Amino acid sequence: MSVYLKTLGCRLNEAELERWAQQFRSAGYTLVTAPEQAALVVINTCAVTTAAVRKSRQAIRQLARRNPQARLVVSGCYATLEPENVAAELGVDLVVNNQDKDQLVERVSRLLEQPGTPVAATEPGSAALFARGRSRAFIKVQDGCRYRCTFCITTVARGDERSRPISAIIEEVNQYVAAGVQEIVLTGVQLAGYGNDQGSDLAELLAAILHHTDISRIRLGSLEPWGWPPRLLDLFANPRLQPHLHLPLQSGSDRILRRMARRCWRDDFLHLTQQAQAAIPELNITTDIIVGFPGENTADWQQTLDLVEQVDFGHLHIFPFSPRAGTRAAELPDPVGADTQQARVAELHTLGQRLKRARLSRHIGWIGPVLWETQQRHGRYWGYTPNYLRVAVPLPVSGIRETRLSALDADGEFLHAELTDTTPTRLN
């Protein structure tokens, strides 16, 4: 039985897709790279914004058109929030909500009356990962969130916080190590809250991974800037824990942060980032910002611009606010006009590009380990430094290689690089 897997949205969805790939392969399914080749198509949907819902619906329809004979299985946040529409209007064969994702492969097998033959059971667990051209693995360690930011539909779709046992995560990491993976990214809806439901925390998890696995590089996914365990920053003294943090700011105005029901005020965020920058050499902090949240006035906006510059973010994910049905923010008064919103997006983009260009320029001449991707795009091969700066070379390369950063790209988006070694390197 051939399976095509597709995901939209966040890194958590990526991690789930990679786990499904392993489970399908272990159950005897063959993963394919095009939907036309598949007898079964599985899509992991997103619903974080109205645009994400639209893209999810479009993707489902496109996959159905490209292979109308295939059985179609849909999961993810959109499928969880609107299961009736997905099942009836879009005509899929099976809807699996977020709470049942761990049983997706089992439920699909029952649907197809396919017991699972062990044809591919002896192949490496990450064979499907590499088949999709990935040099790192995303690992879901936690799901759900106890908080209710007014703009967020994800907490509705994902439910309350649920953490995976440390032992299960260690086992998964070691499986990736055995298959040759050199970098993992830990993901979750509320990653900073890992372990709150089982008497542990994120620092304990990281310490266990460092102690019980030989994975070369460990990254953290998006990390809300509150509720951190006290010794988290101390663990970054180990070079295997990569010096990059993605900390969603959303706004630099306390007034807007209150309307968003965030739990980290402007000064708290600044203090936290300054602590992190002091503790972690070469730290690169990236962030999310919502532009044009209801009630955002000129003073609020200027506070956001000022804080962005003060923190010196390495990259900005910019999201123009759009009302999302089912969230409290969709009902808030004082919407920001479209023209004002577009002007602010452009202003923030210009600031973000200036900060990124300056950061990249400061790294010209740096020599160190770069993890190279396995796929070529736009005539180049791409990789990332430990602090998640994007670099490129014109020749085939993969794995962790000692690299010199030689020049800034004309558009200021990445750095050109030169290899300084002849063989792949492991850091542990």
Query: Which sequence spans correspond to the domains of the chain?
Result: 2-120, 134-362, 367-419
Whether residue 337 is predicted with pLDDT greater than 50 in this model: the reply is yes
Q: What is the pLDDT of residue 375?
A: 65
Q: What is the pLDDT of residue 121?
A: 32
Task: Tell me if domain 2-120 and domain 134-362 are identical in fold.
Answer: no
Q: What tens digit of pLDDT does each residue of 127-143 get?
A: 444 444 467 888 999 98
Q: What is the pLDDT of residue 129?
A: 45
pTM above 0.85, yes or no: no
Q: What is the DSSP string of 220-267?
A: E----SS---TTTGGGGGSTTB-SEEE---B-S-HHHHHHHT-S--HH
Q: What is the pLDDT of residue 148?
A: 87
The topology under which CATH files domain 2-120 is Rossmann fold (3.40.50)
Alpha helices in 27-70 (DSSP H): 50-66
From residue 236, alpha-carbon distances to 212, 253, 276, 302, 388 in Å are: 17, 30, 10, 33, 15
The crossing angle, in degrees rounded to 10, of helices 298-311 and 266-279 is 10
Q: What is the pLDDT of residue 158?
A: 79
Q: What is the pLDDT of residue 102?
A: 87
- The whole-angstrom separation of Cα 412 and Cα 357 is 5
- 3-state secondary structure at position 45: strand
Arithmetic mean of pLDDT, 88-111:
82
Q: What is the DSSP string of 304-328?
A: HHHHHHHHT-SEEEEEE----TTSG
Single-letter amino acid code for the residue at 368: G
The CATH number corresponding to 134-362 among 3.90.320.10, 3.20.20.140, 3.80.30.20, 1.20.1260.10 equals: 3.80.30.20
Least trusted range by pLDDT, from 279-293, 363-377, 396-410 = 363-377
Using pLDDT thresholds of 50, 70 and 90, give the confidence band for residue 107.
Answer: confident
Arithmetic mean of pLDDT, 414-424:
83
Can you say whether residue 7 is alpha, beta or left, with left for phi > 0 and alpha for psi between -120 and 50 degrees?
A: beta
